[in-house]
Amino acid sequence: MTRNVCITAAEGQTGFAIAELLLSEPFSGKVDSVTALTMDPSHQKPKELAAMNAKVVHHVPGREREVVKTLKQTGCDTICLIPPANAEKFDIAAELVRAAKKAGVPNVCLISSAGCDYADPKKQPRLREFIDLEALTLAAKGDPSTALGHSPVVIRAGFYAENLLLYAPQAQSEGIIPLPIGKNNKFAPVALGDIAQVAAHVLAGKGKHGFDDRHRGQMMVVTGPMLCTGDELAAAATKALGKQMQYEDISESEARKVLRAQSESDQAEQQYLLEYYSLVREGKTNYISTTAFHDVTGAHPTEPDQFFKMYAGEFQTAKRVKRHH
* pLDDT recorded at residue 319: 44
CA distance 137 to 130: 10
Same domain, 149 and 53: yes
Does residue 39 lie within any of the structural domains?
A: yes
Task: Give me the CATH number covering residue 232.
Answer: 3.90.25.10
Same domain, 234 and 181: yes
Kindly report the number of other CB atoms within 10 A of residue 186's CB atom. 19
Does residue 63 lie within any of the structural domains?
A: yes
Q: Which of 199, 222, 245 is the last residue of a domain?
A: 222
* pLDDT recorded at residue 69: 95
* pLDDT recorded at residue 241: 83
Cβ within 8 Å of residue 39, ≥6 positions away: 9, 11, 58, 59, 60, 61, 84, 86, 92
Q: What is the DSSP letter of 165?
A: G
DSSP string for residues in 48-92: HHHHTTPEEEE--TT-HHHHHHHHHHHT-SEEEE---SSTTHHHH
Q: Which of 177, 205, 222 is the last residue of a domain?
A: 222
- H-only helix segments in 140-241: 168-174, 192-204, 230-241
Does residue 316 lie within any of the structural domains?
A: no
Number of domains in the chain: 2
pTM: 0.92
Cβ within 8 Å of residue 7, ≥6 positions away: 15, 18, 19, 22, 34, 35, 36, 37, 79, 80, 82
User: Largest Cα–Cα distance of the chain, in whole Å?
Assistant: 60
Same domain, 148 and 30: yes
Three-state secondary structure call for residue 108: strand
Task: Give me the CATH number covering residue 83.
Answer: 3.40.50.720
Ordered mean pLDDT values, 10 residues apiece, the chain (325 residues): 94 95 96 95 93 94 94 94 90 94 93 96 94 90 68 93 86 88 95 96 93 93 96 91 90 89 74 94 96 96 92 62 47
Q: What is the DSSP letter of 11?
A: T
Task: Give the closest residue to 250 by CA, choosing from 181, 161, 173, 187.
Answer: 181
* pLDDT recorded at residue 254: 92
Does residue 321 lie within any of the structural domains?
A: no
Does residue 118 lie within any of the structural domains?
A: yes
Same domain, 260 and 276: yes
CA distance 194 to 12: 16
Does residue 315 lie within any of the structural domains?
A: no
| Full residue range of the structural domain in which residue 200 is found | 4-158+191-222
Same domain, 182 and 196: no
Q: How far is CA 34 from CA 28, 137, 198, 309, in A?
A: 9, 21, 17, 31
Does residue 297 lie within any of the structural domains?
A: no
* pLDDT recorded at residue 148: 61
Does residue 179 lie within any of the structural domains?
A: yes
Kindly report the number of other CB atoms within 10 A of residue 62's CB atom. 10
Same domain, 79 and 180: no
Three-state secondary structure call for residue 26: coil
